[in-house]
Amino acid sequence: MKTKLLPLIIVVFSFGLFSCNDQCKETRVTRRLTPFTRSLAEIRSSVKAESKRELIRPGKIYTKGNYLFINEIKEGIHVIDNSDPSNPKFISFINIPGNGDIAVRNNILYADSYSDLVSLDITDPANAKEVGRVQNVFQFGQFDGVGWSLMGQNSSTGMISIQDFTVDFVTETVTTSCEENVSPMLSSWLDSGFLSSASFNSAGSASSAQPNGQAGSMARFALYDKFLYTVQQNRLHLFNISNPAQPTDFTTVNTNFSIETIFPYQNKLFLGTTTGMIIFDNSDPAAPTQISVFQHGRACDPVVVHNDIAYVTLRTGTACQGIQNQLDLVDVSNPSNPKLIKTYQMENPHGLSIDFPTLYLCEGDKGLKVFDVTDKMEIDKHMISHFQDIDAYDVISLGKTLMLIGKDGFYQFDVTDPRNIRELSKIPVNKAIP
C-alpha cells in the first residue's frame, strides 16, 4: 500500500508546490478627472436668484434667523424658510457657480464663486441681488477633493478663465502581494499639486453674535468684528466688511499648513489643518497672530471649542489621506501650549457641534453619534445615542434644535432632551451620490 501511495504523494506534492499561489486581488474605485475651462465672464454674469430647486449634492449649511442656507456644491445656495423647523420651505435658489461656502451678517450674504468673493443683499430672500464682488482673490480651490485653479490671460480672448474638472469613477482590479505594505503616503507627492490644495469653506462663526449667522464645523468662512475671515490653502484671508455690501480685500496671513476649517472662539481663531490645529490670537482682529500649533498625523480635522477644551476630529478621506479616525480632546486653557487630554477612536468623523454637555459628532455614512462629554476622560462610555441609518457630514446645534446635513439629505431634530432626540423634518436628496 505504502509503495503504491508514495509516488502518488510525491506527484501531488510537487504539483501542489508548483501551483500553490496566493491570489490577491485589490479592487479600487478611483476618481478620474477630466479638465474643462469656464470663462470668468460667463461665471460672473450667472450669479442670480432663480426658482427653487431640489437638493442634489448638498454641501455646507448655514443658518441665520429663520432662514437656512444649504450649499449645492459648486452650483449655488438653496434659500429655505425655516421658521417652522418641522416644515422647512424652499424659497429660492441663488445660482453661484463655484460656490462652497456661506456667511451671513445682517442682510448681506457672502459667498465664494471660484476665484471671487461675492456679496449679495438678501433683504428679500426670494430675490437675492449681487451688490459687491472682490475679483480674483482666490487662486485655487477644491470641492470634494477635486481642485480648480484660476488660469492666466487667455491670449485668444484676453479673458481669464477657471480650469475645473469633471469627475467620474473608474473601477480597476490589480493583483497584489497579499501584504499591507503599501503605505497610504505613497501618493503624497501629489500633495504638492494644486489638486490637493485646500478648498474654501466658509467658516462659520459659531458664536451667537446676533448680526451673524451660524455655520457648521466644516466651514471656511468666519465673521468677526468688521472682518470676514476665509481660509484657503495655507492662507488666512481677511476681507474688510465695514461697508457690508462692498467687502474689500484686506490682508492675508500665511501659515505653513494646509488649512481646512476655521472656528472663532472668544478672541482666538482655531484653524483645522491637514496636519494639526493652529491657534491664532485675534485680539487685534485686523492682524491675527499665530500662537501655537497642535500637531497630529495627516488627516482632515474640523475643530470646535468649548470651555477651553478643543474637540478635534481626524478622519481619513480622499482629500486628506491619513489613516486615523479619532476624536482628540485638547486642553487649550493655555493657548500657547495646547495639551492633548485624551484620544478616542471613531469610525469616520466629519463635522461636530457642541452644546455642552452634549457633543454631536457626524460619522459620515456611519451616522450621527451623540455623547455626554461631562466626564472628558470617559466620553466613549457616555454615548447617548447613535443614529446609524443616516449619512452625516456636518451639524449645527442651536440649543433646542439640531441641523444635520449628509449625502442623503438635510435633517432637523428636536434635541430638547438629548436622550430622546426626535426627527422634526427631512429634506431628501433627489438622488444618491456615489
Partner 1 sequence: MKILFSLFISIMVLGSVNAQDVVVKNRFVNHTEFGGLFGRVKYSSGSQQNTVESRTSLTLQTFNGIQVSRKLGAGIILGADWYKSALINPVAAGIRYDLSGRPNARFFVIADAGYGFTWLHQDSDGYKTKGGWMVNPGIGLRIGNVSTSSFTLSLTYKRQEVSAEKPLLWNQIERDEERVYNRIAARIGISF
Binding stretches for partner 1 (CB under 8 A): 1-2, 5, 9, 12-13, 16-17, 19-31, 33, 145, 169, 174-180, 182, 184, 186-188, 190, 196, 316-318, 321, 323-324, 434
- The rounded distance, in Å, linking the Cα atoms of 217 and 204 is 7
Nine-digit cell at 250? Answer: 484686506
Asked whether the beta carbons of 112 and 101 are under 8 A apart, the reply is yes
Question: Which lies closer to partner 1 via its Cβ, residue 8 or residue 210?
Answer: 8
Residue 26 CB, nearest approach to partner 1 (Å): 5
Q: How far apart are CA 118 and CA 77, in angstroms?
A: 12
Q: For partner 1, give the closer residue by CB, 35 or 65.
A: 35
Measured between alpha carbons, how far is 252 from 344 in angstroms, rounded to an integer? Answer: 35
What is the Cα–Cα distance from 34 to 240, expressed in whole angstroms?
Answer: 37
Cβ distance to partner 1 smaller for residue 45 or 177? 177
Question: Which residue spans within 73-114 are E strands per DSSP?
Answer: 76-81, 89-95, 102-105, 108-113
Return the residue matching grid coordinates 455642552: 356
Contact 136, 114 (CB under 8 A): no
Give all strands of the β-sheet with 368-372 in edge-to-edge order: 352-355, 358-362, 368-372, 383-387
- Min dist. Cβ of residue 363 to partner 1 (A): 15
Q: Which is closer to partner 1, CB of 155 or CB of 170?
A: 170
Torsions phi, psi of 183, nearest 5?
Answer: -75, 135
> Least Å distance between CB 348 and partner 1?
11
Signed CA dihedral, 382, 311, 260, 285: sign only: positive
How many Cα atoms occupy the beta-carbon half-sphere of 246 within 13 Å? 1
State the minimum distance, in angstroms, from the CB of residue 176 to partner 1: 5
Nearer to partner 1, 116 or 408 (CB): 408
Beta carbons within 10 angstroms of residue 184's beta carbon: 11
Pairing mode, strands 67-72 and 58-64: antiparallel
Instruction: Give the shortest CB-143-to-partner 1 separation in angstroms.
Output: 14
Distances in Å between the Cα of 358 and the Cα atoms of 113, 213, 380 are: 35, 21, 13
Of residues 155 and 192, the one with the C-beta less far from partner 1? 192
Residue found by looking up cell 499561489 in the block: 21
Query: Does the N-terminal peptide bond of residue 434 adopt cis geometry, omega within 30 degrees of 0?
Result: no
Can you tell me whether residue 191 is helix, strand or coil? helix
Supply the minimum distance, in Å, between the C-beta of residue 319 and partner 1. Answer: 9
Q: C-beta of 22: minimal distance to partner 1 in Å?
A: 4
In whole angstroms, what is the distance from residue 198 CA to residue 4 CA?
71
User: Minimal distance in Å, beta carbon 316 to partner 1?
Assistant: 6
Q: Tell me which DSSP letter residue 377 carries.
A: T
CA-closest candidate to residue 301, choices 358, 342, 346: 346
Closest approach of partner 1 to the CB of residue 301, in Å:
15
In the complex, the smallest distance separating the C-beta of residue 182 from partner 1, rounded to whole angstroms, is 8
Write down the least CB distance from residue 178 to partner 1, Å: 5
Which grid coordinates belong to 424?
422634526
Residue 404: burial class (beta carbons within 10 Å; 0-12, 13-18, 19+)? buried
